[in-house]
Structure 1
Amino acid sequence: MQAATGALKGLRILDLTHALAGPFCSQILADHGADVLKIEPLEGDFFRRMGPFRDDDQMRHFGGLFQSCNRNKRSMALNLKHPEGKALLMDLVKDADALVENYRAGVLDKMGLGYDALKAIKPSLVYTSVRGFGDKAGGESPYMQWPSFDIVAQAMGGWMGITGEDAQHPVKVGGGAGDTVAGLFAAFGTMTALWHARSTGVGQYVDVAMTDSILALSEMVVSQYSYRGVSPVPVGNGIPGLAPFGTVRVKDGVIALAAPHNPQFRELSLIIGMPELINDPRFADEGLRWENNAALIATIESFTTTRTKLELRELFGGKVPFSPIYNAQEIFEDPHFAVRNMLPEVEHPGSERPVSVPGVPVKLSQTPGQVRHRAPMLGEHTREVLKSLGRSEAQIAGLIEAGAVSAQ
């Protein structure tokens, strides 16, 4: 395992998370150098069994989704229901700076491993939970015990109500944004609490709800209703009030194009050889362009549908906000993502070829984050961690035989 680098080198995080939201939080911390120990049940995080899998991978220690959000971490397989397993976690807490978990509300409390129990061991501990509807610390939701997934958070938090072509066909944002947005906020909350603990020696509970996280990024929903009493509805790929802003048809597909403000619209009009649009009374200002959006798009498409995406790239690139709508292959082929190291490769146990994972988007000039190594196999570092706690080989063998831990 490559030595940690990055701004968070020396920070110790206990990761009692599964699925995506919690692991994404701790992955961000690990990418920037924190020592993240993923503590899994003996059967492992169920996300290990999620694909995609390589055809030549007969071992199937984990699939692509697990690899993506658990790189840079170590793994310890620990039975928290076993008295010795529980005692081991408490030993680990003594040297930890933070703990992240995303169990159902109250689960760890019932096991004697909730925040109140652990802060008695380590008063400076930062304890972060990520749940669908939060925990008591931030306000006890009537839905606190409800299970949640990405689509549930997007539905209640405001995104699905404004995404899609019309109100009868709501659409969620692609990927697991209901999880990853919450994971981002959880990582930020963990670091702000650690900053406070660093100067005061006092830890705290960081309570993050997936649904709250989506609402926090639903500025249009909140502002439209708060200011005007209007519940916005889906408008496709556009934003109410801005035109042209969205997708337009081209000869070989569709592109994204945005030139709603006067300088951008002027430039677009000149590029497509229609300078008369600048003084057209239907399109004279931003408000009029939105009112006459359908006519404006039809006019623009009379030009774009006669050109390919490659031709329009040459015309629009660097002049007006524009992009082809990339598929995965096009992303992997584009030089931007290569030069920005956004598709780093790691090994995958059981496969002869390396795999790519999403890179580290925050580029620090002095202490850059890095994808240093692959996701861990289940219990890959159990022995290593137990030895660091002073357990002998005989004691480790006894813990394994008792079912308190498992190891590779």
Structure 2
Amino acid sequence: MAEAPRGILSGIRVLDFSRMLSGPYCTMMLADHGAEVIKIEGPEGDTSRSNGPYRADDPGHEWAGYFVSLNRGKKSIMLDLKEAGAKAAIQDLARTAHVVVENFRPGVMERLGLGYEDLAKNNPALVYAAIRGFGDPRSGASPYAGWPSYDVVAQAMGGLMSMTGADRDHPMKTGPGIGDVFAGMMLAFAIVAAVRHAERTGEGQFIDIAMYDAMLSLCERLVYLYDMEGKIAEPAGNGHPLLAPFGLFPAADGWVSIGVVDDSFWRELARIMERPDLLEDQRLATKAGRRRYAAEVNAAVSAWTRQRTKRALAESLGGRLPFGPVNDAEDIFNDPHVAARGMIADVPHADSAKPGWRVAANPIRFSATPALTPSTPPRLGADNDLLASTRTKP
């Protein structure tokens, strides 16, 4: 019999105290590649269990889409951390873990006697990873350390909103919860790096990711533009402050993206547009020139694209220069790229008689150790028998 597939992180045990998006996204990335992720949930469960949406065949509202998407392939222990015995149970379980993940405000786990220093006493190789809105005082005491935070706060304070939108008077958040997701992605990377260090040296450590910091890292242009030119990065609408044509352009039936950086791509675009005058205009021959006359360049390209459908533009531009249509969910579900890459994953329902769910698949591709086939997310407390393997029960 063939051996069951094993992900690249097989053998890594993660105790996951996190909830909502940032921490669960991080641990989802780990679980998708073989880590054993054990959610530690209170009696009400991860908050995302009650956030919806719910399918019509789920009248009891047990399977929220928010929860299903982020918690596939994990286990669940239901435990009230404030009850007598819970602390000892977690301490015993933590002896068997390689990683702990949490996204509470500073001091919460310490008050429960479950902070990094508490758990590392009995497991010196433990990697303890925390996402907080403004970081942990261990690595820099922010004046906002005690403030609660969600994605919208991180996007606002970290600079993303100041760079996004139609103009300076209309800042805008991004659609996805990038303040949470990007912090979770960075924490997943940090965990893998710290686990490698622990395996080599036997030394664990505390990992601290601030959502504010993650957003500032993402908005790197904001920093160098202010440092080098003294300019405050402002919303550029659907364009780019340094490049043209670069951004979104109208089509007869929607929008398309075009990104011209190299001069060779500009020449190719002018030829496709059948605009020899643009080719001959030396003002536009270089990136610097097109930046200077960006309004003129973008107007010319827009006048051409709006006369054509997205399909026609794809036939003209696809493969010849950086181009792509603006896709909605229906477009994505029908896109042959998504099918070829397996980017819509099927998650089986806990009730085998019911159809499963479709979620965004893990995008990381390893040639030798691919991501595992997603398994169903856990019912609350479905794996409480794991506590039986510890010396102390709550």
User: Does the TM-score normalized on the shorter chain lie above 0.5?
Assistant: yes
Shift of 1:390: 6.8
| Counterpart residue type for residue 6 of structure 2 | T
| Counterpart residue type for residue 382 of structure 1 | N
Q: Which residue of structure 2 lines up, in the alignment, with residue 395 of structure 1?
A: none
Distance 2:294 2:98 in 1: 53
Distance 2:372 2:340 in 1: 14
Give the alignment of 1:241-256 within 5 angstroms: 241-256=242-257
Q: Quick check: 1:62 aligned with 2:100?
A: no
Q: Which residue of structure 1 lines up, in the alignment, with residue 377 of structure 2?
A: 375
Q: Which residue of structure 2 lines up, in the alignment, with residue 354 of structure 1?
A: 356
Q: Which residue of structure 2 lines up, in the alignment, with residue 330 of structure 1?
A: 331
Give the alignment of 1:2-401 within 5 angstroms: 5-349=6-350, 352-383=354-385, 385-389=386-390
Deviation per residue, 1:283-306 (Å, 9 max, x gap): 121112122122212212222122
Q: Which residue of structure 2 lines up, in the alignment, with residue 396 of structure 1?
A: none
Distance 1:372-1:5 versus aligned 2 partners, 3 A rule: farther
Q: Percent identity?
A: 43
3-state SS in 1 of match to 2:121: helix
3-state SS in 2 of match to 1:23: helix
Deviation per residue, 1:196-222 (Å, 9 max, x gap): 111111110001100100111111101
Distance 1:378-1:207 versus aligned 2 partners, 3 A rule: same
Contact 2:290/2:297 (<8 A) preserved: yes
Shift of 1:91: 0.9
Distance 2:68 2:348 in 1: 10
Shift of 1:3: 6.0
Distance 2:181 2:64 in 1: 18
Distance 2:243 2:302 in 1: 17
Distance 1:4 1:84 in 2: 37
Distance 1:139-1:106 versus aligned 2 partners, 3 A rule: same
Distance 1:217 1:104 in 2: 22
Distance 1:3-1:20 versus aligned 2 partners, 3 A rule: farther
3-state SS in 1 of match to 2:298: helix
RMSD value, Cα? 1.6
Distance 1:91 1:3 in 2: 29
| Counterpart residue type for residue 381 of structure 1 | D
Shift of 1:332: 0.6
3-state SS in 2 of match to 1:246: strand
Stretches of structure 2 that go unaligned for 5 or more consecutive residues are none
3-state SS in 2 of match to 1:357: strand
Shift of 1:43: 1.4
Distance 2:361 2:168 in 1: 35
Distance 1:183-1:3 versus aligned 2 partners, 3 A rule: farther
Shift of 1:387: 3.6
Deviation per residue, 1:136-185 (Å, 9 max, x gap): 12201110000001011111111111111101000112111000100011
Mean CA deviation greater in 141-150 or 339-348: 339-348
Contact 1:359/1:371 (<8 A) preserved: no
3-state SS in 1 of match to 2:85: helix
Distance 2:33 2:349 in 1: 21
Distance 1:149 1:40 in 2: 19
3-state SS in 2 of match to 1:211: helix
Contact 1:71/1:371 (<8 A) preserved: no
Contact 1:162/1:232 (<8 A) preserved: yes
Distance 2:230 2:294 in 1: 24
Mean CA deviation greater in 310-319 or 278-287: 278-287
Contact 2:93/2:387 (<8 A) preserved: no
What TM-score comes out, normalization by structure 1 length? 0.93
3-state SS in 1 of match to 2:282: coil
3-state SS in 2 of match to 1:67: helix
| Counterpart residue type for residue 371 of structure 2 | G
Shift of 1:4: 6.3
Deviation per residue, 1:99-137 (Å, 9 max, x gap): 000111101101111111111111110000101001012
| Counterpart residue type for residue 384 of structure 2 | T
Deviation per residue, 1:354-383 (Å, 9 max, x gap): 211111111000011124202111011112
Contact 1:166/1:234 (<8 A) preserved: yes
Contact 2:15/2:39 (<8 A) preserved: yes
Distance 1:4 1:91 in 2: 29
Distance 1:168-1:3 versus aligned 2 partners, 3 A rule: farther
| Counterpart residue type for residue 84 of structure 2 | P
3-state SS in 2 of match to 1:121: coil
